[in-house]
Amino acid sequence: MVVDDIDDEATSQVFHALADTTRRDILRRAVSGDLSVSRLAEHYPMSFAAVQKHVAVLERAGLVSKQRNGREHLVKTNPRAVRAIRDTIDRLENAWFGRIERMARLLDEDTKGQPT
Amino acid sequence: MTVTSVDKDLDNLTLTLVADFEAPVAEVWQLWADPRKLERWWGPPTYPATVEEHDLTPGGDVTYFMTGPEGDRHRGWWRVDAVEPPTSLEFTDGFADADGKPVADMPVTTMRMRLTEHDGGTRMEMRSTFDTREQMEQLDKMGMTEGLKQAVGQMDALLPG
């Protein structure tokens, strides 16, 4: 595991939030940022309260934020959080690039250290 | 050494990396099988690793800690799922607390490593599957696939650089 700069608790929250079809759908629809919770709720076969709960999970994971607009709450996606998912995989890639370089150096040392 | 290919699969949250070494398979295997060698490449240069337990048998544990620049210690563990010396190793990789106990809430990575002879040297294929296998399967079943791809696709346009 890479320790340096992954905030693992936040990552877990993001993955948990995304492990639900409705929440992923809300995330998609909220990209433009002009949907209120009640408008969102029209899309799903569940109560307004249930949709609100889903939005709250996304909000806690930092994937969306709510903005007050008069009597409505508009749901807006936080693109940085979504990008963070990809960054996590990028970091894993970088960690392995570094490891493979060090492995190669170690193999070189071994060869040089042996009489031929 | 050449990294031949990198495949980042956002849908399945896997990272597959292929690298070629000039050294024979047995020597590359030793980098995994010899704890004194393993600790020289596992941790980032600024967080050198010290391997404590090192049991490369199915169900066996590898435990290690990495020492940071401030003397801070970060513990980690592997649980060996399958091993076939000198060509393949599968393990789960996770974090541990200060007492060396696995931290349940932290994500774990599943690793699959294969070594094959290739052009007089060794080809190493590594697949890292992010987070727990259960969670991955769950994500996959729920159609994370399209959702995430679309969301990320739309967002790229909104982001600078």
- Which residue of B5, B25, B106, B146 to mutate against A (max A Cβ within 10 Å)? B106
Taking the Cβ of residue A4 and every Cβ of chain B, the question of whether any pair is shorter than 8 Å is answered with yes
* pLDDT, tens only, A58-114: 998 888 888 888 888 899 887 776 666 666 667 778 888 899 999 999 999 866 655
The burial class, CB within 10 Å (0-12 / 13-18 / 19+), for A12 is middle
- Which residue of B130, B133, B138 to mutate against A (max A Cβ within 10 Å)? B130
Partner residues linked to B49 by β-bridges: B66
Two structure tokens written together for B103:
């931290």
Could you tell me which chain B residue has the CA closest to the CA of A82? B152
Indicate whether B24 pLDDT > 50.
yes
Give the residue, B123 or B141, on which the prediction is more confident.
B123
Per cent of chain B over pLDDT 90 is 44
| Angstrom distance (rounded) from CA B92 to CA B106 | 12
Rounded mean pLDDT of B55-59? 97
For position A1, what pLDDT does the model report? 44
Two structure tokens written together for B144:
């994370």
Give the residue, A49 or A27, on which the prediction is more confident.
A49
Chain A residue numbers with beta carbons less than 8 Å from the beta carbon of B135 are 15, 19
CATH superfamily to which B3-125+142-158 belongs = START domain (3.30.530.20)
Chain B residue numbers with beta carbons less than 8 Å from the beta carbon of A86 are 10, 152
* pLDDT, tens only, B82-117: 999 999 999 998 878 888 787 765 567 789 999 999
Cβ count within 10 A of residue B135: 18
**Cβ(A15)–Cβ(B131) below 8 Å:** yes
- Which residue of B27, B30, B142 to mutate against A (max A Cβ within 10 Å)? B142
Partner residues linked to B74 by β-bridges: B66
Partner residues linked to B113 by β-bridges: B89, B126
Return the amino acid letter for A81: A
Tokens 């209120």, located at residue: A36
Nearest CA to A39 out of A3, A31, A30, A56 is that of A30
Give the residue, A56 or B131, on which the prediction is more confident.
A56
Nearest chain A CA: its distance from B147 CA (Å): 6
User: Which residue of B21, B68, B105 is in closest CB contact with A12?
Assistant: B105
Taking the Cβ of residue A5 and every Cβ of chain B, the question of whether any pair is shorter than 8 Å is answered with no
The DSSP element (H or E) to which A73 belongs, if any, is: strand A72-77
Indicate whether B40 pLDDT > 60.
yes
For position B87, what pLDDT does the model report? 97
For position B77, what pLDDT does the model report? 92
**Cβ(B29)–Cβ(B87) below 8 Å:** yes
For position B63, what pLDDT does the model report? 95
Indicate whether B156 pLDDT > 90.
no
Nearest chain A CA: its distance from B68 CA (Å): 9
For position B158, what pLDDT does the model report? 43
Return the amino acid letter for B118: H
Indicate whether B143 pLDDT > 70.
no
CB contact under 8 A, A93 and B15: yes
Taking the Cβ of residue A88 and every Cβ of chain B, the question of whether any pair is shorter than 8 Å is answered with yes
Domain ranges of chain B: 3-125+142-158
Rounded mean pLDDT of A49-63? 91
| Angstrom distance (rounded) from CA A92 to CA B7 | 12
| Angstrom distance (rounded) from CA A12 to CA A62 | 12
User: Which residue of A2, A24, A107 is in closest CB contact with B27?
Assistant: A107
Topology (CATH) of A8-112: Arc Repressor Mutant, subunit A (1.10.10)
Indicate whether B160 pLDDT > 70.
no
For position B12, what pLDDT does the model report? 62
Indicate whether A24 pLDDT > 60.
yes
* pLDDT, tens only, A31-46: 766 788 888 899 899 9
Q: What are phi and psi of A106, to 5 degrees?
A: -65, -40
For position B142, what pLDDT does the model report? 46
